[in-house]
Structure 1
C-alpha cells in the first residue's frame, strides 16, 4: 500500500473546486465589464495561484497527509493562514472608500486599526488554544465545532494580514505603524509555536492525530500511517519541526507581504 492508494481513496472536494472556479469566472466577468480595476498585471496571476494553493492545501487528497504528524499539520496550517491570505488580498482589485466629511474619515481610520489589531489578537488566542493537545483532540472529535473554528481562524487571518498586504492599507497605516504591526504579529503568535518547541525539549505531548477515532475522520480505515509516510518521526523531533515550521512560514509571509507591496504596487 502506497501514497497513490491514499490519493485514489480520498475524494477531491468537488464543491470547493466549483466555488473557486466561480470566483475566477466572476473576477474575469467583472474585469471585462469594467466593474473593477487592477493595479498590476500580476494581480490575476496572484489570484489564480492563491486559489490553487488553497485548493491543494485544503481540498485535495494531499490534505489528508497533514493528519499523520504535527510537522505536516503545522506546515498545512501555516500555508493556509500565513501565505494564502496575503496573496489573495494582494490579488484583490482596488477598492475605493468614499467619505462625506473628515470626521467620518477619521472614524473609519480608527475603526480599521482597531479591527485589524483585534483580529490579530483574537487569531493568536484561538490559534494557541487550537494547538493545545486537549483542545485539539476535543475539536477533532466534533466536526460541528471544528469546521466553524477553522473558518473563523481563516476569516481572522484576512483581517490580520490586511494592513501588510493591501495597497489600501497605506491610508490607515504609515510605514512606522506597519513595522509596529509586524513586530506585534511576530510577538503574539510566538506562544503557539513555543508549545511545540518547549514540549520537544521535554518528553513530548500525546499525539492526537494518531488517535484511532480522529484519524478515521480524514484517512480511510484501510490506509495505515506507514503506508503513506514511509518514515516515522520521534515525537519530540516532530513537535520541534512543527514549531520551527510555523515560525519560518510566518516569517516568509511577512517577507512576502513586504515584497509584494514594494514590487507590485
Structure 2
C-alpha cells in the first residue's frame, strides 16, 4: 500500500518547514546583522554556517520527510531516525552555533549551574544513556508514543541530553578547558560500550516487544503523532503489515543492528578524527614537546626536593 494515502501534510510536514526556516533566518540575523548587540562577538565563519544548515536540513529529512512517517510503520526506520537525531545532529548544532552565542546561553543565571553539572563527562554520559535506554523499554516506548505531548517532550529532552553528552568532546570555548585527546578517546569508547545493552535487548529479543509496531489499535493511535486524526478516520487500516513484508521480530532485530552499526560508524569517525589531530599535533614540533616535558618533570622534581628539605 502506498504512503500517499496519508496525505501531503503527513508526508512532508509543512509546519516543520516553517519552523526550521524561521529558526534558520533568526540564526543568520543574530550571527550577522545583530551580532554587534552582544558584548562579545565574532564574524560568522563559513564552517559554522554550513554545520548549522546541515543540522536544519538533516532534522527536516528525519522528522519532516516521509522518513518520519515510515519510522511509525517500521521499527528499523525508527532506529535510523534515532541514530541520526541523537548521534549526528548534535555534532552539527554544537559546531554550527558560534562560541560567543553559546557563552550567552550557557552562562544565563538559571542555566549556568545546571549546565556545569550536566556537562561533567560522567554525568553527561550516564544521563544520555539512561534516557535512551529507558525510552526503549517496551512499556515506556509504547506509552510515550500514544501521547503526542509526552512524545514531543521526551524526544526534546533526549535530544538535549545528546547535545550535553557531546559537549565535553566537541566544545571549543576559548575560556574553557578542553578535554585531553586521550580522555576523548576513552569517552567515546565508554559511550559505545554503555549503549550496547540497550541495543542488545532489542537485537536478541525472541519476540516482538513493541505494541505500537504490532498491535493494530495501538499502532493506529501512535500514527496520530504524524498523521491528522481526520485523515486516519477515513482510512481502513489494520496495522503496519500493510506497508512492509518484513516480520515484526525481524524488523525489530534489524533496527537494533542498524542503530549499533550507525553508532559505531559515527563514533569511529570521531575516534579517527581525534586520533589523527592528536598525532599531527604531536609531530609538529617533537623537540619542543620533549623540552616542555623535561621542564615540567624538572620543576616537579625541584618542588618535591624543596618540600623534603
TM-score bucket (shorter structure): 0.7 to 0.9
Which residue of structure 2 lines up, in the alignment, with residue 6 of structure 1? 6
Q: Which has the larger Rg?
A: 2
> Offset at 1:134?
1.5
The answer to whether the 8 A contact 2:203-2:257 is kept is yes
The answer to whether the 8 A contact 1:38-1:94 is kept is no
Q: Which runs of 5+ in 1 are unaligned?
A: 99-107
Deviations 1:75-130 (A, max 9, x none): 111111111111121112133869xxxxxxxxx9x946853432321121121121
**Alpha-carbon separation, structure 2, partners of 1:10 and 1:204:** 26
Decide whether aligned partners of structure 1 residues 259 and 91 sit closer, same or farther in structure 2, where only a CA change above 3 A counts: farther
Counterpart pick for 2:203 among 171, 174, 197: 197
**Alpha-carbon separation, structure 2, partners of 1:259 and 1:41:** 24
> Which has the higher mean CA deviation after the structures are superposed, 185-194 or 19-28?
19-28
User: What pairs with 1:49-198 in structure 2 (closer than 5 Å)?
Assistant: 49-95=54-100, 111=116, 115-168=120-173, 171-198=177-204
SS of residue paired to 2:246: coil
Which residue of structure 2 lines up, in the alignment, with residue 210 of structure 1? 214
The answer to whether the 8 A contact 1:68-1:210 is kept is no
**Alpha-carbon separation, structure 1, partners of 2:63 and 2:5:** 19
> Which has the higher mean CA deviation after the structures are superposed, 12-21 or 140-149?
12-21
SS of residue paired to 1:141: coil
Which residue of structure 2 lines up, in the alignment, with residue 44 of structure 1? 49
Deviations 1:241-264 (A, max 9, x none): 11111112222332454577778x
Decide whether aligned partners of structure 1 residues 247 and 258 sit closer, same or farther in structure 2, where only a CA change above 3 A counts: same
The answer to whether the 8 A contact 1:6-1:223 is kept is no
SS of residue paired to 1:171: coil
Deviations 1:147-198 (A, max 9, x none): 2211110111100112233333982311111112111111111111111112
RMSD: 3.2
**Alpha-carbon separation, structure 2, partners of 1:17 and 1:188:** 35
The answer to whether the 8 A contact 2:91-2:170 is kept is yes
The answer to whether the 8 A contact 1:16-1:59 is kept is yes
The TM-score normalised by the length of structure 2 is: 0.69
SS of residue paired to 1:173: coil
Which residue of structure 1 lines up, in the alignment, with residue 263 of structure 2? 250
SS of residue paired to 2:179: coil
The TM-score normalised by the length of structure 1 is: 0.80
Q: Higher relative contact order by CA 8 Å / sep ≥ 6: 1 or 2?
A: 1
Decide whether aligned partners of structure 1 residues 138 and 112 sit closer, same or farther in structure 2, where only a CA change above 3 A counts: closer
> Offset at 1:206?
4.8
